[in-house]
Amino acid sequence: MTPEEIVEFTEGLARISASGGGPKALAAHLAHASGGSVLLEDANWQHLAAAGTGAIPPSARGIVESGAPGHAQRVSAGNHDFGWVSIFGTNSAPDSELLLRLTAAAIGVEFARDASTTLRARRSSFWDSVLGHEFHDPGAARDEAAARGIALAPYYLAVALELEGTDDAQQAVDLNGLRALASDALKRPDADLGLIERGVTLFFFVPAGRAVDASNAKTAASLLPKGAAKRKPQLRITGGVGTVETLLALDSSARAAQTALAIGRRIYGSGRIAVYDELGAYRLLYEGADVERFRTFAAEALAPLRSYDEKHQTELERTLKLYFRVGQNVKTAAAELHVHRHTVFYRLRQIGEIASRSLESRHDQLTLRLAVAIDELHDAV
């Protein structure tokens, strides 16, 4: 065969793989190009496919083990051996061996892809079972995970991701890219990363056995939009990060992640990753919280200031409430507190640092204002 014919043969293999033709079509392509007959067998010498019109022996095992007529090539990908592809009845040995090697490589990629898809599906069904509360105790979940080759962590953090600005024709390709990017960024060395797809949303379940793991996962998730933009500037990732939960309570984290995604899209726009625990008042308003949840929210939001005041004999909580009451007028607040206005500025900076909220942010300010309003209402009752 000429070099041009070999290139054309290779391009044919690529077209078959891209169109989803599979190993059988690849074997047929080899039979047609070589003029011989092709046999595809698995690692146990069981027939998988045959092509061509010539005679085909019961197995190519004789070629491999005793040098019987014909050519056989192992089908493999990475460290995995999937079987053998063999060719018979052709008089062009050098070209046949080359075409056989090219075809074996293409079939190996197909088998590896199928194996990966099957493994991903088996693992995905496990996470679906967890979210569906099909396991009634952790032991049963661990046993099922072990059977599917999944190493579990005691706690997980859900991350929900969606693509913005991609059309239907390109979506599947872009989702594959997002899946690979996020998997690489969120994976952990001590336990497996979980993944399921629900419509256009990818849910990743990040192992978070320690507080630092959850913190690292939030940081990695927040950087995903920038990482995606470097590869494909037209793509925008919107997402949400849920709460840290045990394996059997993972659905709570998934719901929180989806809530964070929805709230973040509304208040920040697309292209941002919102963290549920950092959304403050917005998550209460979005979820329609009851009175008790509002009271708990206020207590948690003001707790850092109260703890600091108690320990250091300061008046940060009082300063914050007065600052809001006088319309954020520092001069008036200073007069009522009988301190210099620079002292008020200093206290406001302290409040922001201790409460992990910025008084320059309208979103954080809403959270603190609502916490103060709920607390004062509660005190008045």
Residue-wise pLDDT for 252-270, tens only, equals 999 999 999 999 999 888 8
DSSP-assigned letter for residue 189: S
Nearby residues of 30 by Cβ (< 8 Å), 6 or more positions away: 38, 51, 85, 87, 99, 100, 103
pLDDT of residue 380: 46
Burial class (CB in 10 A: 0-12, 13-18, 19+), 187: middle
Burial class (CB in 10 A: 0-12, 13-18, 19+), 68: middle
Burial class (CB in 10 A: 0-12, 13-18, 19+), 286: middle
Say if residue 173's pLDDT is above 70: no
Q: 290-380: which CATH number, 3.40.50.300, 3.90.400.10, 3.40.50.1110, 1.10.10.2840?
A: 1.10.10.2840
Q: Round the average pLDDT of the chain to a whole number and report it.
A: 87
Instruction: With beta carbons less than 8 A apart as the criterion, state whether 308 and 314 touch.
Output: yes
Residue 231: pLDDT band by 50, 70, 90 thresholds? Answer: confident
Distance of CA 182 to the CA centre of its chain: 5
More confident residue, 155 or 288: 155
pLDDT of residue 259: 95
pLDDT in tens, 11-24: 999 988 887 778 88
Residue 230: pLDDT band by 50, 70, 90 thresholds? Answer: confident
Burial class (CB in 10 A: 0-12, 13-18, 19+), 158: buried
Say if residue 2's pLDDT is above 90: no
Say if residue 92's pLDDT is above 60: no
- CA 202 to CA 219: how far, in whole Å? 18
**Global confidence as pTM:** 0.63
Instruction: With beta carbons less than 8 A apart as the criterion, state whether 255 and 276 touch.
Output: no
pLDDT in tens, 101-131: 999 998 888 877 765 555 566 778 899 999 9
What average pLDDT does this structure show over 165-187? 77
3-115 is classed CATH 3.30.450.40: yes
**Percentage of the chain with pLDDT > 70?**
93
DSSP-assigned letter for residue 193: P
pLDDT of residue 347: 96
pLDDT of residue 114: 65
Nearest to 248 by CA among 158, 122, 154, 159: 154
Rg (CA), the chain: 31
What angle, 0 to 180 degrees and rounded to 10, lies between the N-to-C axes of helices 316-325 and 330-337? 130
132-279 is classed CATH 3.40.640.10: no
More confident residue, 167 or 148: 148
Instruction: With beta carbons less than 8 A apart as the criterion, state whether 163 and 190 touch.
Output: no
Say if residue 381's pLDDT is above 50: no
DSSP-assigned letter for residue 56: -
Say if residue 379's pLDDT is above 70: no
Say if residue 337's pLDDT is above 70: yes
What average pLDDT does this structure show over 42-66? 84
List, edge to edge, every strand of the sheet that includes 194-198: 194-198, 201-207, 155-164, 236-246, 273-275
Residue 218 C-beta-side C-alpha neighbours within 13 Å: 17
- CA 57 to CA 1: how far, in whole Å? 26
- The domain spans of the chain are 3-115, 132-279, 290-380
Same fold, 132-279 and 290-380: no
Where is average pLDDT lowest: 70-79, 164-173, 292-301, 372-381?
Answer: 164-173
Say if residue 202's pLDDT is above 90: yes
Where is average pLDDT lowest: 70-79, 152-161, 296-305?
Answer: 70-79
pLDDT of residue 370: 93
**Percentage of the chain with pLDDT > 90?**
47
Residue 324: pLDDT band by 50, 70, 90 thresholds? Answer: very high
What average pLDDT does this structure show over 196-211? 90
pLDDT of residue 288: 84
Instruction: With beta carbons less than 8 A apart as the criterion, state whether 228 and 216 touch.
Output: no
